[in-house]
Amino acid sequence: MKKERKTKPGKSLFARWLDGEIEVMDLILDDTTQVRDPSREALKLKDTEFKERLDASPRSKEAADATRRRFYLAYTAVAVISCIFLIGVLLFAVSDLPRFGEENVMADAVVKRYVEKGLEETGAVNVVSGMILDYRAFDTLGESHVLFTALICVMILLRIDKKNMAAGYEDYYTVLSDRYYSLAGDNIIRYSGTVIIPIIFIYGIYILVNGQNSPGGGFSGGAVMGAGMIIFAAAFGFERTDRFFTARVSAYTTFVSLMFYSFAKGFVFFTGANGLGNPIPRGTPGAIFSGGLILPLDIAVGLVVACTMFGFYSLFRRGSIGGD
Amino acid sequence: MTLIELFKIILLVLLIVCAVAVNLTRSLLQSVIIFMTYSSIMCLVWILLESPDLAITEAAVGAGVSSILFLVTLRKIASEEDSRKGGGL
């Protein structure tokens, strides 16, 4: 499929990189960084030879081509049909929704209550926070657990421990390729990271603790902090993050946060639904320490989200969260 | 038609263009970048719909973290492909 690329003799290095002829990483790193794995390469060579032998005989090539053509035809047909079906279903569902901004009797009673009594009952200026962490805190509890479950699933699929490092060549290669493509030594990323990472963390914490006063809260603040951790790991390497963030720390943080959320909200629901039995005073609306349970719950959700985000990145990159 | 409405229509058209372009682009790297653009436009749409909470989350998760995960995965695939036949993305 690829077109042959023409190389003009007078082209600059930058122009060649722009056209995709050279990779910057190949210039920076020497070949010794990429260690070869003989057993895997032998396997691949065998695979290639088998394919070549298959292609060499005209009859098998014809049959393979016919199968491939039939597969692509069926694939296209199924794709088009399912796409049209999905679009039809979605349009049908949308036509049933009330128009944007229109009055709706069903939703109005709930909305009226939230808008009029939200500040008084939850102590949160940002009514969205009051909703997701007070009136409907049970929803958010489920969402946090979904994130936790997702992290566990990624861990099951991608985690590399000592046992399968010794057994399989596949994982060995993954680790090597990560080392090959690591950008941790790059000066541009490191120095811009030095400037930008503290700002990102402060911004994330600001969003997190101001969830009840301004837009933001647990999910957004946690995601920003997780992104900051990812940039930190990309700029300075995983050795630095391993010093303070390991799989053990991640597990304890997530566990404590989720347990705190479950018990706090369970207690509130048990002693009086809708936050009536809120044990923490609501404080002055607009202050950071206001909104009763909303601030601690925000922090709990934010920690879970940050751990999940960084855990995803770390597991994708090197198959471990750290510390093992 | 006010300026804001015009802006909204432009954004929505861009959303559709991005959504179609993601599917029709051959290069996976370009698809990921277009997908990132989609999330950024969606972030603006959320702000226009007066839900800044969602906008922040969309920018951090949609345009940031998920794109990074895609790029990391692409890097992994590319390194596998490299060792097989010596081609890039």
Q: Considering only CA atoms, which of B68, B88, B62 is closest in space to residue B77? A: B88
Q: Compare A283 and A81 and report the one with higher pLDDT.
A: A81
Distance CA B32, CA B36 (A): 6
Answer yes or no: is B62 within a domain: yes
* Cα separations in angstroms, A45 against A39, A51, B35: 10, 10, 36
Give the pLDDT score at A174: 57
Distance CA A201, CA B39 (A): 22
Q: Compare A158 and B69 and report the one with higher pLDDT.
A: B69
Evaluate if residue A166 carries a pLDDT over 80: no
Answer yes or no: is B38 within a domain: yes
With contacts defined as CB-CB under 8 Å, which chain A residues touch B45? Answer: none
Answer yes or no: is B21 within a domain: no
Answer yes or no: is B59 within a domain: yes
Most confident of A10-14, A57-61, A235-239: A235-239
- Percent of chain A past pLDDT 90, that is, above it, reads 26
* Identity at A31, one-letter amino acid code: D
**Phi, psi torsion values for A23, nearest 5 degrees:** -105, 135
H helices present in chain A, as ranges: 13-18, 24-28, 38-56, 58-96, 105-122, 127-130, 137-158, 162-167, 169-181, 187-209, 218-236, 238-244, 247-271, 294-318
Contact B61 A223 (CB under 8 A): yes
Give the pLDDT score at A179: 59
Contact B83 A313 (CB under 8 A): no
- What contacts A165, CB < 8 A, 6 or more positions away? A171, A172, A175
**Is the CB of residue A292 less than 8 Å from the CB of residue A281?**
yes
**Is the CB of residue A278 less than 8 Å from the CB of residue A238?**
no
- The size of chain A, in residues, is 324
pLDDT interval class at B89 (50, 70, 90):
very low
Give the pLDDT score at B9: 93
Contact A177 B79 (CB under 8 A): yes
∠ CA B78-B41-A215 to the nearest 5 degrees? 110
Contact B65 A215 (CB under 8 A): no
Q: Which domain holds residue B67?
A: 33-80
Per-residue pLDDT tens over the stretch A96-137 = 887 777 777 777 778 888 888 877 777 788 888 888 888 888
**Least Cα separation, residue A272 to chain B (angstroms):** 28
With contacts defined as CB-CB under 8 Å, which chain B residues touch A126? Answer: 53
User: ipTM exceeding 0.85?
Assistant: no
Per-residue pLDDT tens over the stretch A2-30 = 444 455 566 777 777 777 777 666 665 54
Burial class (CB in 10 A: 0-12, 13-18, 19+), A190: middle
Answer yes or no: is B6 within a domain: no
Q: What is the DSSP string of A216-281?
A: --HHHHHHHHHHHHHHHHHHH-HHHHHHH--HHHHHHHHHHHHHHHHHHHHHHHHH-GGGTT--S-
- Percent of chain B past pLDDT 90, that is, above it, reads 44
pLDDT interval class at A1 (50, 70, 90):
very low
- What contacts B48, CB < 8 A, 6 or more positions away? B4, B7, B8, B11
Answer yes or no: is B42 within a domain: yes
- Percent of chain A past pLDDT 70, that is, above it, reads 81
Evaluate if residue A276 carries a pLDDT over 70: no
Distance CA A301, CA A307 (A): 10
Answer yes or no: is B58 within a domain: yes
Most confident of A105-119, A148-162, B21-35: B21-35
Overall average pLDDT of the A289-317 stretch: 88
Give the pLDDT score at A105: 72
Give the pLDDT score at A291: 73
Answer yes or no: is B52 within a domain: yes
**Least Cα separation, residue B39 to chain A (angstroms):** 15
Query: What is the number of domains present in chain B?
Result: 1
pLDDT interval class at A146 (50, 70, 90):
very high
Give the pLDDT score at B88: 38
Evaluate if residue A257 carries a pLDDT over 70: yes
Overall average pLDDT of the A231-242 stretch: 87
